[in-house]
Chain A
Amino acid sequence: MADAQALRTAEAFPLRGVSPARPRRQVRRLGLQGSEFTWAVAFVIPYVGVFLAFVAYPVAYGLWLGSDPALYAELMSEPIYQRTVVNTTLYLVIGVNLKMFGALLLSGFFMRRGWWVKGLLIIYVLPWAVPALPSFMSIHWMLNGQWGLLNNVLWNVFGVDGPGWLETSRWLALGSVITSHIWKWMPFWTVILLAGRMAIPQELYEAAAMDGATGLKRFTYVTFPLLANLYLVCTLLSTLFTLGDFNSVYFVSGGGPALSTHVLATLGIRNAFEIARPELGVAVVMSALPLMIPLVILLMRKLHTTEVTL
């Protein structure tokens, strides 16, 4: 393939009046020559420029801002930060797993035949289609203890006086935030896993049914082994996205009551812009690196190997 290409480009050059000056071996290694190489470089330069100016430079600048060890000592002794770490862990462990497992089950549900299931899917993806901000603001008001829809329903229908979901207790507020996050993002992952399920050939199920694998066995011995890799990649990706999720916390609970429901993403912004200590904000974000780096390495490897196996 590479030979053929080198040959053809070498043939092409005399036509354009450019003589292939380089020896053959070098041509094969480079793949491109002369003006072609210049063009290729010109084509990648815009992206390389964007990457250097808006990713590499901010990353380096951030590392420099957060390089003072004293910042981390200060963070560790802060009760708000300690609570934030606990919140972030709960948010990741409970939020990501409930969301992904729910998406896995629901993608099976949406494999059912029938017109109403298709219609339901169109409604079900609505949280993904609606921008995050309006939905989370609406949820914020909906959970208002005095005037919110949820407590109005509880009172009018069941005669129960509901709690102030976001105003009174840390755990209620954190639970509300996690639920909102699941509400917003589960449809997205359901659609991805649904596509994964649809890619499984029907013959496999037929063969498995011959061998007596039906019901739950069909899932554990056929569907899940085939979906496992996709499920893992999705979970890793979702963990990183959830770690960076700012909107759910900021607009549903706003970090309250009494700063007890912050996560790393929102606390970093608060430190940097509300109490005007950017280096402390960067330190908050950087403290997620021990979790992020292994995740990123694992995910990059997975994304590469899956390209090959497909």
Chain B
Amino acid sequence: MSAAPMDGSPVRRRSNYRLRRNLTEAAALAFGLVLVVWTLTPIYNMVAVSLEPHGDVFTNDIWPAKPSLESFWIVVTEGHWYLEYFWGQFGNSLFVGGATVFLTLAIGSLASFAIGRMRIRYGWLVSNAALLTYVIPASFLAIPFYRIMNIYGLSNNLWAVIAAEVTFATPYAIFIFQQYGVSIPIELDEAARIDGASPTQVYFRIYLPLMAPALVAVGTYALLLAWNEYLYQFLLLSSKRSMTVPVALAQFLNSDEAPWNYMMATAIVYALPPVAIYYAFRRRMTAGLTTGGVKG
């Protein structure tokens, strides 16, 4: 498949070559169509179910007979038992996301500045610890983490969730910052120090501005991680008022007759901000991932 048969093999007759080219293009288009169907089916289902009017989820329609935006109205006006505190929960998710971004960027950039730029002794130990945290699956730490949060007195507290998200976002931040920091000449720091700049001044005036692209990439990553993560938020938050949106969304499944149209409408409202952010920063995200993430 990698071998796009457009270039290369010398074909004697021009028309013959053109025919083959058109055929492969047609095959590629057909394959592309299959790929679109594969990709969009679950998302189509989400939209179709959310447009079902009240109580009409149990049908055999492929597209709702009378599509209506009623479910979205219910979500926005908190008009259902499960959606009582929707906007408060939305706010909680925003708060967790914002705090995670700020703390991840601050802690991650300070650490990688000390390791990569100031070359602190045993810095390699710290970056290895970070790398190790990055490769250990977060869900495997959930049980002891939950108990420890109780010991710290942070049960049912948003700060417990923030601590969890920061814990799992910072290793990636340190990894990316160190890889990206290599491209910034160390002579800049040295020149500033000769001019009498203190380490904090070098950090704020030289390091941070030059790291801006990496900061944006990691910030987006941390925000999406905190917004999308479910397991820790589910374990650490128990009351309706302190819940974040994904936890509230999964609450729907607790009842036997889940109102699927409201649930899918909530799901769409919840998914829109991260999708918008993802597409806005798409280039930065992939750039960050390939320069640092898993480049081989």
Contact = CB atoms under 8 A, between A and B. Distances in A.
Interface of A: 5, 8-9, 11-12, 15-16, 30-32, 36-37, 39-41, 43-44, 46-48, 50-51, 53-55, 57-59, 61-62, 65, 105-106, 108-109, 111-113, 116-117, 120, 122-135, 137-139, 141-142, 146-147, 149, 152-153, 155-156, 180, 183, 187, 191-192, 195-197, 209, 214-216, 218-219, 223, 227, 229-234, 237, 240-241, 243-247, 251, 265, 268-269, 272-273, 278, 281-282, 285, 288, 292, 295-296, 299-300, 302-303, 306-307, 310
Contacts of A273: 235
A57 B167 CA distance: 12
B267 A138 contact: yes
Interface in B170-221: 170, 174, 179, 186, 190, 193-194, 196, 198-200, 203
A114 B145 CA distance: 49
Nearest to A9: B193
Given A111-B4, A299-B135, A47 B130 contact: yes
Interface of B: 1-9, 28-29, 31-32, 35-36, 38-46, 48-49, 57-62, 106-108, 110-111, 113-115, 118-121, 123, 126, 128-133, 135-148, 163-164, 166-167, 170, 174, 179, 186, 190, 193-194, 196, 198-200, 203, 227-228, 230-231, 235, 246, 249-250, 253, 260, 263-264, 267-268, 270-271, 274-275, 278-279, 282, 286, 289-290, 293-296
A246 B139 CA distance: 7
A8 B163 CA distance: 40
A125 B58 CA distance: 31
A173 to B, nearest CB: 16
Given A54-B145, A58-B141, A129-B274, A39 B167 contact: no
A215 B9 contact: yes
A19 to B, nearest CB: 15
Nearest to B9: A214
Contact of A47 (B126, B128, B230, B249): B126
Given A109-B1, A273-B235, A46 B132 contact: no
B9 A223 contact: no
Contact of B141 (A48, A59, A155): A59
Contact of A54 (B143, B163, B278, B282): B163
A58 B194 contact: no
Contacts of A134: 46, 249, 264, 267-268, 270-271
Given A50-B166, A109-B1, A153-B62, A44 B270 contact: no
Contact of A152 (B46, B60, B128): B60
A123 B39 contact: yes
Contacts of A40: 114, 118, 120, 199
A47 B166 CA distance: 10
13 contacts: A8-B194, A31-B119, A36-B199, A44-B126, A47-B126, A113-B4, A133-B250, A142-B42, A149-B48, A152-B60, A227-B296, A234-B294, A251-B250
